[in-house]
Amino acid sequence: MLPATPPTPVPPAPLSTEPRPVKGALALAISSLGIGIPLSAIASSTAGLPGLIVAWIGIVGVNVAFAWAQRRF
């Protein structure tokens, strides 16, 4: 009877240092501008400067959330 030999450990895969293209970033940028222009007109005409600020804070928030989700640690 042959003695049991432990299995050989598999080395971990090397980490890739090449940047991976972010899918949807261009579409988000174009849609943010496309939505931002008419939303600015609507918000400023109905609620004035505070409405315009709230509208753009929302647009910026969506873009920041997308960028944060794409980060790799």
pLDDT at 7: 78
Is residue 3 situated within a structural domain? Answer: no
Predicted confidence at residue 63, as pLDDT, reads 95
Residue 11: the pLDDT is 79
Nearest to 69 by CA among 18, 25, 35, 17: 25
Per-residue pLDDT of 1-31, as tens digits, reads 667 777 788 877 776 666 666 789 999 999 9
Tell me whether residue 64 is in a domain. yes
Give the domain range for residue 38: 25-73
Q: CA-to-CA distance for 70 and 27, rounded, in angstroms?
A: 15
Nearest to 54 by CA among 40, 66, 70: 40
0.75 exceeded by pTM: no
* Residue at 35 is within a domain: yes
**How many domains is the chain built from?**
1
State pLDDT tens for residues 28-65.
999 999 999 999 999 999 999 999 999 999 999 999 99
Q: Within the chain, how many helices (H) and strands (E) appear?
A: 1, 0
> What's the CA gap between 60 and 39, in Å, rounded?
13
